[in-house]
Amino acid sequence: MPRAIFRFYQELNDFLPPPQRQIAFEYEWRDTPSIKHLIEALGVPHTEVDLILVNDRSVDWAYQPQQNDRVAVYPVFESLDITPLIRLRPQPLREVRFVLDGHLGRLAAYLRMLGFDTGYQNHVDDAVLAQISKDEQRILLTRDQGLLKRSAVTHGYWVRATAPREQLREVIARFDLQRLAQPFTRCLSCNGLLQAAALADVKDEVPENAVRFYAEFWRCASCHKIYWPGSHYQRMVQLIEEIHPTAEDAESAELT
């Protein structure tokens, strides 16, 4: 069987078994697969790869590896301009929007809290998630590596962290979201946009104590849920300040 030498760089090693990390290793195959097929067979989703060099020459996903090829696989470049080379990933989406799998419910709430358009439904089939990502041009965030290997997914990211707050920090850093956050502008329940509501319009729909102690209210334009500054205000503001230092300049209220 033909074989080639593969070397994966930086965080792409997260997807490999320990014996194959940070080293060049041989890999053999049958038939005539594409380079995309081989890379995903080794465990690395195509959404995580930005550049492939075969014998020091940039190739695209359709390239068919040959005997004794030397294959170098690189992740998404953050600061290095590789525009003269073939980029494998599509152009960035015009708007930063997300869809999350069923294991990332708390992360979805945190992203909505920071104002990011975030689709989330529990117990949604993988094929449906992949299609939503494609049809609605959303970045698919998941803890399932296999989900990112679906051909329908063009923009996706495997979330490494397991704790929700660390996941939020990771996603913000990965997609450089600090300057795009607009805290407390979206509904945590349905992702709808919040609109200011007058006390007279909501006083019959909120608890008596809320009417007594708070003057600012917001209503979700989609599900009509009402929000006001409540008892968890300091904790939520503290979280936003930790994740997004400029959040104190945004008009904010605790969502309860």
- In terms of C-beta density within 10 A (0-12 exposed, 13-18 middle, 19 or more buried), how is residue 180 classed? middle
Instruction: Name the one residue in this structure whose structure tokens are 């067979």.
Output: 41
Do residues 165 and 206 both lie within one domain? no
Q: Which domain holds residue 245?
A: 194-249
Selection from 189, 188, 170, 184 nearest residue 237 by Cα = 184
User: Could you report the per-residue pLDDT of 136-181, keeping only the tens digit for each?
Assistant: 999 999 999 999 999 999 999 999 999 999 999 999 999 888 888 8
Same-domain status, 123 and 156: yes
Same domain for 141 and 163, yes or no, is yes
What element of type H or E holds 156?
A: strand 156-158
Residue 86 lies in a domain: no
Identify the domain boundary among 158, 180, 202. Answer: 180
**Does 137 lie in the same domain as 110?**
yes
Whether residue 82 lies inside any domain: the answer is: no
CB 119, CB 132: distance < 8 Å: yes
**Is 85 part of any domain?**
no
Q: Based on the domain organization, do 172 and 220 belong to the same domain?
A: no
Separation of alpha carbons 4 and 18, rounded Å: 19
User: Is there a single domain that holds both residue 171 and residue 240?
Assistant: no
pLDDT at 237: 75
3-state secondary structure of 43: coil
Same domain, 64 and 103: no
Candidates 236, 239, 234, 199; CA nearest to 219 is: 199
Whether 253 has a pLDDT exceeding 60, the answer reads no
Q: What pLDDT band is residue 252 in, cutting at 50, 70 and 90?
A: very low
Cβ neighbour number for residue 24 with a 10 Å cutoff: 12
Beta bridge partners of 220: 194
CA atoms of 172 and 46, how far apart (whole Å)? 21
Buried b (16+ CB within 10 A) or exposed e, 123-162: eeeeeebbebbbeeebbbbbbbeebbbbeebbbbbbbeee
Residue 10 within any structural domain of the chain: yes
Residue 101 lies in a domain: yes
> Taking the model in full, what pTM does it have?
0.83
Tokens representing residue 46 in the block: 């195509």
Q: How far is CA 37 from the centre of its chain?
A: 23
Query: Do 52 and 109 sit in the same domain of this protein?
Result: no
Q: What is the pLDDT of residues 184-207, one digit of tens each?
A: 899 999 999 999 999 999 999 999
The answer to the question of residue 159 being in a domain is yes
The tokens for 21 are 């990390």
Say if 105 falls within a structural domain: yes
Q: According to the model, what pLDDT value does residue 117 have?
A: 97
CA 155/CA 98 separation, integer angstroms: 10
Number of structural domains found in the chain? 3
- What is the CATH number for 60? 3.10.20.30
Q: Which residues contact 119 (CB under 8 A, 6 or more apart)?
A: 97, 98, 99, 100, 132, 136, 138, 191
Is 84 inside a domain boundary? no
Q: How far apart are CA 89 and CA 48, in angstroms?
A: 8
Question: So what's the pLDDT on residue 130?
Answer: 97
